[in-house]
Amino acid sequence: MSVHIAAVRAPRSTRRTPEVRLALLGTGTVGTAVLHRLAALQDEGHGAGLSLCYAGNSRFAARSADGLCPRTMTGLATRPVRGGEPPALARIDDALCGPAPRIVLDATASDAVAAQHAGWLSRGIHVVTACKLGQGTSLQRWRAINAASQSAGSHYGDSATVGAGLPLLRSIRDLRAGGDRIHAVAGVLSGSLAWLFNHYDGKRPFSGFVRDARDAGYTEPDPREDLSGEDVRRKLLILARAAGVELEADAVEVGSLVPPDLAQVEADELDTRLEALDRPLRERFAEAYRRGEKLRFIARLQDGRARVGLESLADDHPLCGGTGTDNRLAIWSDRYGTQPLVIQGPGAGAGVTAAALLDDALRIAAQSGAISTR
């Protein structure tokens, strides 16, 4: 496949030396939200120090040493993209050349792009990502990212990978930096699963709620990707490693909600087979209801062990609160030994994820001295 890269020349009157040069990879739902938010920030003067020099998906990329107009680049999202292929990676280094701070914004779900994170960091290019495949897969890749960042003095912004920008990772790291020891973390880390179990009442079939969540855009088009717990597993790996527990990728026990037979069904047959979910979930709900408890899909790290799966929790449990697609994380440490620190808020959606990506970019720019936060 050939990838078309357009060199765009800005009008002479608008050329300037950018304070921070950005390359955006991925122009889907999150990437488009990034472009809209960047345009709004620049209109307000908060993003005046950020210059978009590259934007691309798997078929098309545009670059300009003088900066691209974010609103114009939103049209990239409408160009045909071949599924499963990485965004155009060619000539990113060229687009980000020069002495100014350089940041790659990864708004993809591409393993091929995540595999480039350590390389960019080692060359002094900062990376800001919403993709969990960098730090939430193999321990070797996680270590490579951290080693590259430390050796080159480059920054890795990952607040969008867990909780869509909620201060989950930052809180864990700040506690450790202050000498606190993390003993356990547990949380509702999936917006789609949070919605399902906030609404499921044991009366209507669970499959109906799954269809509702899918139609509302809360789940992936194939809801098994959410119900399997794999996405939550990656998020727990990222949290665990931030807490100082360097788990291998296969160390997390996963309690999938997808029965084996349903896991083998072709995607085009899935809708007619979702009823396979109903009986197991009805039985789990009834058992919890008899005890006065609620079902929640929990990610849990305790005593060096990690697991994700459905749990029955007391109604007043710290993780039973929240509404809609809220994420909720409880942290137990030396400081918070009896009553955990609980962080709650919207943990899904293109808008909050895009905001988290650009917040990280602005934070890096400020740390680099390129822009002022005052």
Confidence of residue 77 (pLDDT cuts 50, 70, 90): low
SS3 254: strand
d(CA 183, CA 339): 12
**Residue type (1 letter), 241:** R
Radius of gyration over every alpha carbon of the chain, rounded to an integer in angstroms = 22
Quick one: pLDDT at residue 356? 96
363 contacts: CB under 8 Å, gap ≥ 6 = 157
| Neighbour-count burial of 55, counting CB atoms closer than 10 A to its CB (0-12 exposed, 13-18 middle, 19+ buried) | buried
Residue 83 has pLDDT above 60, yes or no: no
Quick one: pLDDT at residue 137? 96
Confidence of residue 11 (pLDDT cuts 50, 70, 90): very low
Quick one: pLDDT at residue 64? 85
Average pLDDT of span 91-120: 89
Residue 78 has pLDDT above 80, yes or no: no
Extended beta strands in 81-142, E state: 102-106, 126-129
Quick one: pLDDT at residue 12? 45
Q: What percent of the chain has pLDDT over 90?
A: 71
Catalytic annotation, residues: 235
